[in-house]
Amino acid sequence: MLNGNYFNGTIPASLSLLKNLRSLALDGNYLAGTIPAELGALTGLETLKLAYNRFSVGELPASFKSLTKLKTFFAANCSLTGHFPSYVAQMPELELLDLSVNALNGSIPPAIWNLTKLQTVALYANNFTGEVVIDDGAFGAVNLVMIDLSANHRLTGPIPESFGLLPKLNTLNLFNNSFSGEIPASIGRLPSLETLKLFSNRLTGTLPPDLGKNSSAGLMYIEVDDNEITGAIPEGLCANGKFQSLTASNNRLNGPIPAGLARCATLNNLLLDNN
């Protein structure tokens, strides 16, 4: 591993000669230039980390379509542009995908939600647009623990119902986008949910009434500021005794503060102004 060493210069194409390489970690350096297409010849790679460098990279090499054994693909904050690399959907072993803090654009391919071993999807702070589309009956990513699509600003349409059917989902971050419609009620029943951040969207309807009641992990954080959410605050937010923060300013909430929330000993942040 060569990560975090402040190396500069470029990635040598000769690394592609290391045919038995399983892990290539170059993240956290000062590497520049382009990413060599020759790295696509490392077909045994399981871990590829290119994040936090200074590449003048543009699009990822098309040759990476041959890296079908990747489990970890970490290319955050390394100046990526162009569309989402569609070949990622052909990486059946992928567990972690982090392409955050780049300038990727266009839509998010529906096929990535079919990757059955995927646990983390981090695509925040890009320029993705349009709806998050999931093919009917084809949602195979049931092992997802974290989804972060925040700060793309122009993701639109409803929050996918399928996101409320993920038994291991711990964190759902969709803030700073243009999602609209109601929050799926099924999200309130997620058994492992700890963090839900949906602020600065165009969401309407009520908060899911079951939020907090079914979270065996213990719901801790809800941020839904700057939407058009109506109705009451759910009673069960602190049902598991771990709830710490509710920020819901600038909505249209009404009714009393639930007694369960008023008695919540772990609560340290409550923002309900402009409702």
Report percent pLDDT > 70 for the chain.
96
How many residues does this entry show for the chain?
275
Domain range list for the chain: 8-271
Which pTM does this prediction carry? 0.94
Encode pLDDT of 173-213 as tens digits: 999 999 999 999 999 999 999 999 999 999 999 999 999 98
**What DSSP string describes 164-197?**
GG-TT--EEE--SSEEEEEPPGGGGG-TT--EEE
The answer to whether 223 and 200 have CB atoms below 8 angstroms apart is no
| Pure H helices in the chain | 259-262
Computed over every residue of the chain, the mean pLDDT equals 93
48 beta partners: 24, 73
Q: What is the mean pLDDT of residues 109-132?
A: 97
Residue 119: per-residue pLDDT:
99
The answer to whether 237 and 264 have CB atoms below 8 angstroms apart is yes
111 CB-near residues (< 8 Å, 6+ apart)? 86, 89, 135
Q: What is the mean pLDDT of residues 26-51?
A: 93
Q: CA–CA separation, 270 vs 60, rounded Å?
A: 43
Q: How far is CA 25 from the centre of its chain?
A: 21
CA distances from 120 to 141, 148, 250 (A): 10, 8, 30
Q: What is the mean pLDDT of residues 162-166?
A: 95
Whether 5 shows a pLDDT value over 70: the answer reads: no
Highest CATH level, class, for 8-271? alpha beta
